[in-house]
Each structure stands twice: as structure tokens, then as C-alpha cells.
């Protein structure tokens, strides 16, 4: 194999590694943002916000490398799907990171006024999302389409928790109109975590497409 092709294959592997790195950072942001919310830990929330730029920079690095490979290598078939797939996954990961940062901002803006109820369902949604994200990256690294399909089944759990949390929060707002601002903020957090599950399902759909050249609706 020529040095030119060797570098090409190294770059393809590097794309996967960079994507895994971004997913790890995003997963940490989800975990920390909800922990900060639950514990009213403003400093931890600020850490999540501070690291947002690092996630954005890494996402941009992935995008630039994808564009470079598409322009210079003109890949075909499976390699083309891999590069386009990584590009799409990077976009979903960046959006998940943005959602985590928005959750952290709720904590920094609430100034310990958000505790209108014990957070019961929201931390469980975050835990499930992080598990889904980790398993989706395992599927990506191993080119395992079946595993990607299995990951999306966890989204049903997130949707169920979302409905329970929304019902509980709306009941509190109706019964205690004076906490409408805090309740609305938590409803937004609840929605953000539900959307996180949807983005991970998008990632899994992309993995299936990369591996099997099939477009499947898994969400």
C-alpha cells in the first residue's frame, strides 16, 4: 500500500477516534449538567458551560477532516458512507452537547431556586442517555449495526420518564402558580433530555447506514 493510501486509512480511523472522544465529552456534559441541577452545584454547571467551546472545536475538527477526505480522496461506496456518516454523527453529538450546556445554564440562572420538587425522573433520563451514547459509540467502533439497533430500544424508557416528569411538573405548576418560572425551567430540561435520546437514535440510524447501506427509521 502506498504511503498516500496508508495516510488515508489512518485518517479514516482517526475520524472514528475523534468521534469517540467527542461522544465521551458530550456524555460527561450530560452527566455533570444534571448532577449540577440536582445538587444546585453552580460551579459544576459553570464547568460544563466552560467546556462547551472544547466540544465545538472538536466537532469542527471532525467536520474539517471529513471535508478534506471528501475533497482530496473522492471516496466511493463504503468509505463514502463512513465519512458522510461520521459527519452526520458529529452534528448530532454537537447538538447533544448544546442541550447539556442549556441544562447547565438553568442551574446557573436559578441561583438555588429550582428545587420545587425532588428530581426523580430527570436524573434517570440522563443516566439512560449516557448509557445509550456509550453503547452507540461501541457500535460505531465495532461497525456493529445490530448493536446500534438495540441501543435505540432504550429510547422508550426515556420517553416514558419524560411523560412522568412532565405530568408531575405540570401538576405542581397548576397547584402552585408562584413557582411557574422554576417549573417551566424544569419542563425545558425534561424536554432537552428527551431530545437527547432522539439524537442518539439518529446516530444509531447513521451507524446502520454506514455498515449496511440501509436507511432505517429507529426512533
Give tens-digit pLDDT for 17-55. Answer: 999 999 999 999 999 999 999 998 999 999 999 999 999
Is a pLDDT exceeding 70 seen at residue 111? no
Q: Is 111 exposed, middle or buried (0-12, 13-18, 19+ CB in 10 A)?
A: exposed
3-state secondary structure 113-171: CCCCCCCCCHHHHHHHHHHHHHHHHHHHHCCCHHHHHHHHHHHHHHHHHHHHHHHHHHH
What is residue 76's predicted lDDT score, i.e. its pLDDT? 84
Residue matched to cell numbers 482530496: 72
Stretch 183-198: mean pLDDT:
96
The residues near 181 (Cβ < 8 Å, ≥ 6 apart) are none
Nearest CA to 55 out of 97, 6, 105 is that of 97
Domains and CATH numbers, the chain: 3-212 (1.20.58.220)
Number of H helices, E strands in the chain: 8, 0
What is residue 4's predicted lDDT score, i.e. its pLDDT? 64
Give tens-digit pLDDT for 134-149. Answer: 999 999 999 999 999 9
What is residue 73's predicted lDDT score, i.e. its pLDDT? 81
Q: Is the dihedral of CA 131, 191, 167, 28 positive or negative?
A: positive
Q: Which three cell numbers stand for residue 208?
A: 446502520
What is residue 8's predicted lDDT score, i.e. its pLDDT? 81
What is residue 30's predicted lDDT score, i.e. its pLDDT? 97
Q: How many CB atoms lie within 10 A of CB 18?
A: 18
Average per-residue pLDDT in the chain?
A: 93
pTM of the model: 0.94
What is residue 78's predicted lDDT score, i.e. its pLDDT? 87
Distance CA 92, CA 70 (A): 20
Q: How many CB atoms lie within 10 A of CB 212?
A: 14
What is residue 104's predicted lDDT score, i.e. its pLDDT? 97
Residue matched to cell numbers 433520563: 125
What is residue 108's predicted lDDT score, i.e. its pLDDT? 92
Stretch 119-127: mean pLDDT:
94
Stretch 177-199: mean pLDDT:
94
Is a pLDDT exceeding 70 seen at residue 127? yes
Q: How many CB atoms lie within 10 A of CB 76?
A: 8
Alpha carbons within 13 A on the beta-carbon side of 30? 32
pLDDT band of residue 2 (cuts 50, 70, 90) is: low
The residues near 156 (Cβ < 8 Å, ≥ 6 apart) are none
The residues near 91 (Cβ < 8 Å, ≥ 6 apart) are 59
Is a pLDDT exceeding 70 seen at residue 1? no
What is residue 114's predicted lDDT score, i.e. its pLDDT? 63
Amino acid at each position: 500500500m502506498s504511503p498516500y493510501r496508508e495516510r488515508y486509512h489512518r485518517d479514516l480511523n482517526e475520524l472514528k477516534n475523534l468521534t469517540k472522544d467527542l461522544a465521551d465529552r458530550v456524555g460527561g456534559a450530560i452527566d455533570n449538567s444534571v448532577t449540577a441541577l440536582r445538587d444546585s452545584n453552580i460551579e459544576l454547571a459553570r464547568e460544563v458551560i466552560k467546556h462547551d467551546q472544547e466540544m465545538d472545536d472538536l466537532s469542527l475538527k471532525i467536520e474539517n477532516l471529513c471535508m478534506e477526505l471528501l475533497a482530496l480522496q473522492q471516496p466511493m461506496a463504503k468509505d463514502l458512507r463512513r465519512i458522510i456518516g461520521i459527519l452526520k454523527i458529529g452534528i448530532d453529538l454537537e447538538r447533544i452537547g448544546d442541550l447539556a450546556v442549556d441544562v447547565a445554564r438553568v442551574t446557573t440562572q436559578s441561583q438555588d431556586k429550582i428545587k420545587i420538587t425532588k428530581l426523580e425522573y430527570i436524573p434517570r433520563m440522563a443516566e439512560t442517555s449516557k448509557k445509550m451514547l456509550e453503547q452507540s459509540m461501541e457500535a460505531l467502533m465495532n461497525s456493529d449495526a445490530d448493536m446500534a439497533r438495540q441501543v435505540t430500544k432504550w429510547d422508550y424508557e426515556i420517553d416514558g420518564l419524560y411523560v412522568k416528569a412532565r405530568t408531575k411538573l405540570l401538576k405542581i405548576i397548576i397547584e402552585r402558580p408562584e413557582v411557574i418560572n422554576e417549573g417551566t425551567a424544569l419542563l425545558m430540561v425534561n424536554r432537552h433530555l428527551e431530545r437527547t435520546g432522539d439524537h442518539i437514535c439518529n446516530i444509531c440510524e447513521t451507524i446502520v447506514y454506514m455498515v449496511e447501506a440501509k436507511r432505517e427509521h429507529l426512533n
